[in-house]
A and B are shown apart, each in its own frame.
Chain A
Amino acid sequence: MFYDLNVPYSANEAHLSRTLAFISELGYNVVALNHSIVGKLPPQITCAIPDPLPFKDVPPKLEIRRRVTLTLTESYQNARLAELARAYDILAVRPVDERTLQLACSSLDCDIISLDLTQRLPFYFRFKMLSEAVKSGKRFELCYSQGVLGDSAARRNLISNATQLIRASRGRGLIISSEAKATVGCRGPWDAINLATVWGLAQDRGFEAMSKEPRSVVVTAQLKRTSYRGVIDVVYGGEKPALPEKDVRAVDGGEGKGKTKQQATTGLKRKAVNEAVAGADARVEAAAKPISNREAKRRKHQARLSSSDAKEGATNGRVGGGGDTALASADGERKEAGLQPAMEAG
């Protein structure tokens, strides 16, 4: 499974369908369409990307997610980030300076931190800051398309920043994506991995940055939105089969027949029969259950303890005695439990 989590969304249908087909042809399986927001959030937050895409020839094997990238500017309000996150599948933030990067790494609840690597960044990345973000499940994004399409300065900056990012993050928690504004900017997954290898990322890390890490982004983002406290999610609850009326009656009839038969054999009422059956079952279970090694050891240990306690009980009175009675009662219970099936059998 290869992921490309940054394909800019354009309303131009022909262009978008061609790009998606091309990405699928290159061998990607999951794609996130990206919508960028710069500046203030609109008063009504809605997903800008229509849910079933408006054209019909979307490649059938391609899974499509919706992502929003919010540029963190000076006058940024934290309050509506959760609302924005709910409207899309994936939330990415784009810090512009060190302060906002610090904010994004530490406190903001986002999925991806996407830096504009084509500019000369006026600060260094520090491992402490990045590792804090990676620990809390955020991922850093390397977009290669600007290096492919852009001019020589953009490429130089991209290589420089990518190298810095790889060095500072020690190759962990990175994802590689395209951010291809034109179809020509997309590259095959292995080609992108090779580029990252040339920039200093080990090949296995590069492969993870194309497959494992973006998957974790997609899955955790989905869990955050749909699950109960990010722990439990109902993937498929199964259909409740609608029982037709006739079947219900048939089942009832069957039960009735069985009851009468049982009553006939035992001569007891239904409740009594059921209780007897259940009780017998429970006892048989208790008797048939073999004692585990651990349990046997524990019993042996307790037996030894109680015997030694009995010896010592004479010398140091209360504590030993208390333990003794407790153990004895516990043993007694167990004996009872053991005896019951025997009585039943008798």
Chain B
Amino acid sequence: MVRIKHRYLLVNILYPDAKYSPLRPAATAGDDIPYTVQFRRPSPDQMNGGLLMRLIRDGVVELFGDYGSGKIAGSLQVKYFSSATSTAIIRVSREHYRLVWSALTLTTRLPRPVDQPCVIQVVRVSGTIRKAEEEAIRRARLSIRRAEAAAKSSSVSIAGTIPTASTAAAAGDDDFDMINGIEDPDELGDLDDDDDG
């Protein structure tokens, strides 16, 4: 019996617009927050794994129709979603992960209860969930460091915002090392993968 192989997409939701910033609801512009923190801000509370699942299904139906949605329906699963870091890990079968990926890429808005413009970036495609997890942690760390650097360099005193940024983790992932390829080199490396039979 051959095991079903999966791909784990480490996904990162970015918010390019300033309007909905929950960090400073009162401030209209929010100019003093560094851009990197603005883009990688926490998702709203209504956003959760189920909503992400719906978003993906709708996207795949729109792009690939019944065929695509039927193909991915069996294996699609949101393994992890953190609204604090706007990070998610999505599982799909290995044959069809590109369908899900392109559906994520062509998403421009989060669905109804949230209804914000967003950009969803896939930062890692991995054969095991453990690799995806390690990568998520690494990127979260990097982006905190980056936010701190940005805060230091901007002359405006943002003593109020930075602790919230680093502790409440407005830190998503970072993309310093995307140059070396996005996919894990180990094609058959999901031996330590314990979540499927």
Chain A residues with a Cβ under 8 A of chain B: 1-2, 18, 21-22, 25-27, 57, 147-149, 155, 183-192, 194-195, 197-198
Contact = CB atoms under 8 A, between A and B. Distances in A.
A111 B40 CA distance: 36
Residue of A183, A190, A195, A197 with highest tally of chain B CB at under 10 A: A190
A195 B99 CA distance: 9
Contacts of B101: 191, 194
A21 B40 CA distance: 12
Contacts of B123: 188, 190
Contact of B98 (A1, A2, A148, A197): A197
Contact of B36 (A25, A155, A197): A25
Q: Which 9 residue pairs spanning A and B have beta carbons closest together?
A: A21-B35, A27-B175, A183-B16, A188-B121, A191-B105, A190-B182, A27-B178, A184-B117, A198-B102
A2 to B, nearest CB: 7
A189 B121 CA distance: 9
Interface string B9-40: 00000101110000000000000000110011
Interface of B: 14, 16-18, 35-36, 39-40, 98-99, 101-102, 104-106, 108, 117-119, 121-123, 175-176, 178-179, 182
Most central of B17, B121, B122 by chain A CB within 10 Å:
B121
B111 to A, nearest CB: 15
Contacts of B102: 194-195, 198
A155 B182 CA distance: 26
22 contacts: A2-B179, A18-B35, A22-B14, A22-B35, A22-B119, A25-B14, A25-B35, A25-B40, A26-B14, A26-B121, A27-B176, A57-B35, A183-B16, A184-B17, A184-B108, A184-B117, A184-B119, A186-B16, A187-B105, A188-B175, A190-B123, A197-B98
Contacts of B176: 27
A191 B117 contact: no
A21 B123 CA distance: 18
A18 B16 contact: yes
Contacts of A185: 108
Contacts of A189: 178
A154 to B, nearest CB: 12
Contacts of B117: 184
Nearest to A20: B35
Most buried by B among A1, A25, A194, A195: A25
A2 B180 CA distance: 11
- Chain A binding surface SS class: helix
Nearest to B121: A188
Contacts of A183: 16-17
**Which of B17, B122, B179 has the largest count of A CB atoms less than 10 A from its CB?**
B179
Contacts of A27: 175-176, 178-179
B98 A18 contact: no
Contacts of B16: 18, 22, 183-184, 186
A191 B97 CA distance: 12
A185 B178 CA distance: 20
Contacts of B39: 21-22, 25
B88 to A, nearest CB: 15
A191 B106 CA distance: 9
A35 B23 CA distance: 35
A147 B39 CA distance: 22
Given A183-B16, A186-B16, A187-B121, A148 B179 contact: no
Contacts of A2: 178-179
Contacts of B119: 22, 26, 184, 186-188
B35 A195 contact: no
B105 A25 contact: no
Given A26-B121, A148-B106, A194 B98 contact: yes
A300 B36 CA distance: 73
Contacts of A21: 35-36, 39
Contacts of A22: 14, 16, 35, 39, 119
A184 B16 CA distance: 6
B181 to A, nearest CB: 8
Nearest to B97: A194
Contact of A149 (B14, B98, B108, B182): B108
Contacts of B182: 190
B106 A190 contact: no
B175 to A, nearest CB: 4
